[in-house]
């Protein structure tokens, strides 16, 4: 049986690179949208989805926080990818010939120094790897792409500059999603764990403060707290949270008991092993 892992983007993108790092022997399946990526797993066409959730520079990835609470998929893991960009041109071209640099808006914003140094005109593309494919198709030495290193081989381009990003610590956190995956017990997940969940607070004064108080008093490290509007209400009534620990840990049991008292809805999105990057850097992003 061939296992597949779905991702949003084109071959050679950062999401593709994350797939090859985590599941090098699996088939990486590109999808046009995040909705399509989720659907591939829900339908059984793929066993896992690799989804970027936040970046150390750009912050959270748009739309994902709204999609996760509505999906039946469960988070089963996380992966941190060091983001690197290369400047790519057609074979035989040089930086001196380049006039336009094409890439995703986030990539252009994260490589401003190189763009300014060479006097390039930034042109927004829908995808980093997609811009590399377009440069390959255009065969124009004045047009170059900012894309992940693996895009060079995939699209037959020359690497004109490496490590083009301004910040060498640029990192994206990805989550791995599976369909109908049961929450692992503490016995099944004995090491450092992360629990992701969403909740809606009751309409009472200081509800959020009181709801989160149990995590503080029980010494639980909260590494993510995102608020967002729900429906047509202009109020931050729903929250997405990552905490370090397993729901069966005594401290977590007490914290969730207190959380339930001040909330109207809690949904566990996943309980999964903490990534080595998280453990070595002591931070979520």
Q: Which residues are catalytic?
A: 172, 174
Which residues on neighbouring strands pair with residue 7, listed in sequence order?
A: 30, 50
Contact present, 112 and 164 (Cβ < 8 Å): no
Contact present, 241 and 211 (Cβ < 8 Å): no
- Return the closest-CA partner of residue 157 out of 175, 132, 138, 182: 132
- Return the closest-CA partner of residue 129 out of 109, 141, 115, 146: 146
Contact present, 45 and 27 (Cβ < 8 Å): no
User: What are the strands, taking DSSP E only, across the chain?
Assistant: 4-8, 27-31, 48-55, 59-60, 73-82, 86-89, 100-103, 121-124, 143-147, 158-161, 171-179, 193-201, 222-228, 238-244, 263-273
- Return the closest-CA partner of residue 14 out of 197, 143, 146: 146
Tokens of 217: 């008093």
Cβ atoms within 10 Å, residue 173? 25
Q: Give every CB contact of residue 117 below 8 A, 6+ residues apart in sequence.
A: none
């Amino acid at each position: 049986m061939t296992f597949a892992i779905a991702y949003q983007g084109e071959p050679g993108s950062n999401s593709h690179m994350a797939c090859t790092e985590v599941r090098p022997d699996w088939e990486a399946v590109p999808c046009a949208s995040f909705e399509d990526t989720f659907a591939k797993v829900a339908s059984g066409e793929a066993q896992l989805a690799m989804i970027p959730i936040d970046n150390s520079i750009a912050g959270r990835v748009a739309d994902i926080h709204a999609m996760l609470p509505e999906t039946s998929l469960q988070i089963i893991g996380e992966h941190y990818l060091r983001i690197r960009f290369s400047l790519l041109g057609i074979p035989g071209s040089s930086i001196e010939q380049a006039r336009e640099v094409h890439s995703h808006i986030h990539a252009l914003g994260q490589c401003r120094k190189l763009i300014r140094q060479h006097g390039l005109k930034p042109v927004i593309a829908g995808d980093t790897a997609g811009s590399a494919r377009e440069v390959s198709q255009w065969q124009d030495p004045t047009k170059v792409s900012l894309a992940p290193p693996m895009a060079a081989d995939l699209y037959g381009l020359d690497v004109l500059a490496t490590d083009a990003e301004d910040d060498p610590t640029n990192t994206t956190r990805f989550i791995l999603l599976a369909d109908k995956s049961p929450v692992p017990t503490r016995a099944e997940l004995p090491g450092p764990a992360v629990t992701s969940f969403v909740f809606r607070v009751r309409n009472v004064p200081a509800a959020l403060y009181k709801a989160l108080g149990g995590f503080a008093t029980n010494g639980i490290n909260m590494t993510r707290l995102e608020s967002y509007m729900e429906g047509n209400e202009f109020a931050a009534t729903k929250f997405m949270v990552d905490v370090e620990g397993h729901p069966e840990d005594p401290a977590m049991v007490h914290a969730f008991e207190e959380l339930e008292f001040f909330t109207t809805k809690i949904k566990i999105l996943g309980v999964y092993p903490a990534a080595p990057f998280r453990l070595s850097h002591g931070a979520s992003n």
